[in-house]
Amino acid sequence: MTFLITLSGIVSTSTAQIAPEEEIALLNTADMDLNQAVVSYQNELDLLIFEMSVKGTAGNTTPEPAGQMNGAPVLGYIFPTTLNPSDVGFGNVEGIVAFAVTSHPDFDDTPLWDENNDKNYENDGNSFHTHWVVLEKNEDTPEGLAVKELKKEKQSVVLPPTNPGMPMYLDSPGFSVVFREHTLKVAVPAQRVNNKRSFSYDGVTAYMEVSTDLEQPMLGVYAIYEVLSGDLRLPYNVQFK
């Protein structure tokens, strides 16, 4: 898998190539303009349904490839939550657990899943797919947030077996994303979040970027298009249906 080999063999110390502001702005379409974000629990099937609706067409906007890993764009619909990292298979580390639906055409980080059903498991990065990540504050990114990296850990690292092999707190759980006009929905068995059925969350749309500069965050948040609550206070609670 090219992506894993590339990331495990990083030796570059070049400066991260941040996409021009106008390119980032072009991705800020009505397709990323949130109407609402809802997480509901369906008791009959023991499922959590993560749902977002937008003013445009959900999933219709995807980033153009950079043609390389350094500066590779990542576009995401994100649910920051109050879940603990251990609830989704990570170790007992500090950070914000977020459920992310992302598109990134330069690489495939879901080696176990074939999202576009073409029998090739290594070409699905552009198709929107799901991740669990642990976010932390990082002043080296424009928005002050990045995915927590393993290289900074002084304790033993625990990752879910479905992680793609990147040196960060990132998992590729393989939950299907369903797009219907203005909405996207993902069904997550409660068992996959340690049977947690009550937690708080927020809704965010954002642009992220990969850096192969060892002095920069490997996956940082470069532009937040919208925070549903306005201040990322995670005010929303799971609805029971």
Condensed to tens digits (0 to 9), the pLDDT of residues 164-197 reads: 999 999 999 999 999 999 999 999 999 999 999 9
Separation between Cα atoms, residue 59 and residue 31, nearest integer Å: 7
pLDDT at 18: 52
- Is the pLDDT assigned to residue 120 strictly greater than 70? yes
pLDDT at 16: 44
Q: What is the mean pLDDT of the chain?
A: 89
Separation between Cα atoms, residue 179 and residue 130, nearest integer Å: 13
Q: Are 43 and 194 in contact (CB under 8 A)?
A: no
**Does residue 210 sit in helix, strand or coil?**
strand
Residue type at 94 in one-letter notation? E
Separation between Cα atoms, residue 56 and residue 166, nearest integer Å: 33
Q: Are 213 and 16 in contact (CB under 8 A)?
A: yes
Specify which residues 89 forms β-bridges with: none
Q: Are 209 and 74 in contact (CB under 8 A)?
A: yes
The parent domain of residue 149 ranges over 2-240
**Does residue 31 sit in helix, strand or coil?**
helix
Residue type at 112 in one-letter notation? L
- Is the pLDDT assigned to residue 3 strictly greater than 80? no
Nearest residue to 95 via CA among 108, 105, 82: 82
Q: Is 20 exposed, middle or buried (0-12, 13-18, 19+ CB in 10 A)?
A: exposed
| Counted domains in the chain | 1
pTM as predicted:
0.89
Q: Which two tokens stand for residue 50?
A: 């993560």
- Is the pLDDT assigned to residue 10 strictly greater than 50? no
Top mean pLDDT of 38-47, 118-127, 152-161 is at 38-47
- Is the pLDDT assigned to residue 221 strictly greater than 60? yes
